[in-house]
């Protein structure tokens, strides 16, 4: 094994550098992975500016949507061996508080860890993580598909957290980014009728290929009115808010039917949003906030394998690690409308 590796280090707000750093340390319960592909998430861009739900501890290595091959295991690891193909959870907690013991480590209030966000992540040649957070992937699954499991797991968890869906449900998805499109795919694969609201034509078209029955342009029509028309005047059974837009987060309560369900996946940090909170009570709406995907990764891998969903299409643009600066510039350029996910390949 080499003693150093290339890594994209977030040195300070709005400054990241690809440079040589020591290989990550691997404890007795850890696995060391050779990274094969890692996606650039909107959160990666946001964290680089210094903004996040938890404090940003510069300097550190970013990246949390990854897939790779195990190259070594700690002395106490019996579940993995070199050569295993894996993905891994990014969020974890102390493991012993009431919240963690309930299976919700993403919400740990004692020791919240967000790999690639508040500690070192996978924008690097090698990455180390606790073996308990790693998950094997099928031999037939390519690295690009595997690297998109993380955003898919968030969307899948957002649907499960609100009670799941079936062919009797109409699911309204707000936002056609990678997680929104994953929500479309997961809901459709579960048999539901799916409506997507997204202002970009390219992403509306992509939603159709992932199974959306209807795609709405919120800039050109009243999506609340249209959704009610499509649902006999009632509204959607389930609303998956995946945009993080203040207007869409507010609108979610109006799109849902009486006694409907709303799952907030899109992140909006540090902004107050004026909503008529009484609608939740008066209309019996169940609201769930979702951060990450605790305790569903195994099910997510099985769901993708059994449903035969092709989520590799979410990765529309790819750059080598040596050009990661260009990859970030492309991903943050709002004029680049015709992309969904930028992936760094190694």
Q: Is the pLDDT of residue 233 over 80?
A: yes
- pLDDT value at residue 287: 97
DSSP state of 41: P
What is the residue extent of each domain of the chain?
4-147+310-345, 153-289
Mean pLDDT, range 275-284, rounded to an integer: 95
- pLDDT value at residue 227: 98
Say which CATH topology domain 153-289 has. Rossmann fold (3.40.50)
CATH number for the region 4-147+310-345 comes to: 3.90.180.10
- pLDDT value at residue 45: 94
Q: Model's pTM, two decimal places?
A: 0.95
Report the C-alpha gap between 346 and 340 in whole angstroms.
Answer: 20
- With residue 99 as reference, give the H or E element that holds it: helix 98-101
In this structure, are residues 169 and 234 in contact, taking their beta carbons and an 8 Å threshold? no
Which positions ≥6 away from 33 have C-beta within 8 Å?
66, 68, 69, 70, 71, 86, 88, 122, 126, 127, 128, 129, 134
Report the C-alpha gap between 50 and 77 in whole angstroms.
Answer: 35
Mean pLDDT, range 306-333, rounded to an integer: 96
Cβ-in-10-Å burial (0-12, 13-18, 19+) of 67 comes to buried
What contacts 24+ positions apart, CB below 8 Å, involve 105-112? 105/294, 105/295, 106/291, 106/292, 106/293, 106/294, 107/291, 107/294, 112/54
Please, which pLDDT band fits residue 9 given cuts at 50, 70 and 90?
Answer: very high
Mean pLDDT, range 283-294, rounded to an integer: 94
Cβ-in-10-Å burial (0-12, 13-18, 19+) of 38 comes to buried
Please give the mean pLDDT across all residues of the chain: 95
- pLDDT value at residue 51: 83
| pLDDT tens digit sequence for 101-142 | 988 888 898 999 999 999 999 999 999 999 999 999 999 999
Report the C-alpha gap between 156 and 178 in whole angstroms.
Answer: 12
In this structure, are residues 179 and 293 in contact, taking their beta carbons and an 8 Å threshold? no
Name the region of 235 (left: φ>0; alpha: ψ -120 to 50; beta: rest): left
Degrees (nearest 5) of the Cα angle 44, 49, 178? 30
């Amino acid at each position: 094994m080499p003693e150093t590796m290339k890594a994209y280090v977030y040195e300070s707000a709005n400054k990241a550098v690809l440079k040589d750093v020591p290989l990550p340390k691997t404890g007795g319960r850890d696995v060391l992975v050779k990274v094969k592909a890692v996606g650039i998430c909107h959160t990666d861009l946001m964290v680089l500016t210094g903004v996040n739900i938890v404090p940003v501890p510069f300097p550190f290595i970013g990246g949390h949507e990854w897939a790779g091959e195990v190259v070594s295991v700690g002395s106490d690891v019996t579940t993995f061996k070199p050569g295993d193909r894996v993905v891994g959870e990014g969020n974890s907690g102390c493991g012993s508080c009431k919240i963690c013991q309930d299976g919700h480590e993403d919400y740990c209030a004692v020791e919240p860890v967000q790999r690639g966000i508040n500690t070192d992540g996978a924008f690097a040649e090698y990455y180390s993580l606790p073996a308990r957070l790693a998950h094997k992937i099928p031999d037939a699954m390519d690295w690009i598909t595997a690297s998109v499991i993380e955003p898919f797991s968030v969307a899948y968890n957002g649907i499960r957290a609100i009670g799941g869906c079936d062919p009797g449900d109409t699911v309204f998805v707000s936002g056609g980014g990678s997680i929104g499109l994953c929500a479309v795919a997961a809901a459709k694969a579960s048999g539901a009728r799916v409506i997507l609201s997204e202002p970009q034509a390219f992403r509306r078209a992509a939603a159709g290929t992932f199974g959306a029955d209807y795609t709405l342009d919120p800039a050109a029509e009243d999506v609340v009115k249209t959704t009610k028309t499509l649902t006999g005047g009632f509204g959607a059974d389930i609303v998956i808010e995946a945009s993080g837009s203040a207007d869409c987060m507010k609108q979610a309560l109006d799109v849902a039917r009486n006694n409907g369900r709303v799952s907030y996946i899109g992140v909006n940090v540090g902004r107050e949003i004026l909503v008529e909170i009484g609608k939740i009570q008066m209309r019996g709406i169940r609201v769930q906030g979702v951060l990450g995907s605790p305790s569903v990764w195994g099910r997510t891998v099985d769901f993708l394998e059994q449903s035969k969903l092709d989520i590799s299409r979410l990765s529309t643009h790819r750059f080598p690690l040596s050009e990661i600066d260009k990859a970030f510039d492309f991903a943050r350029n709002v004029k680049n409308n015709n992309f969904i996910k930028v992936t760094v390949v190694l």
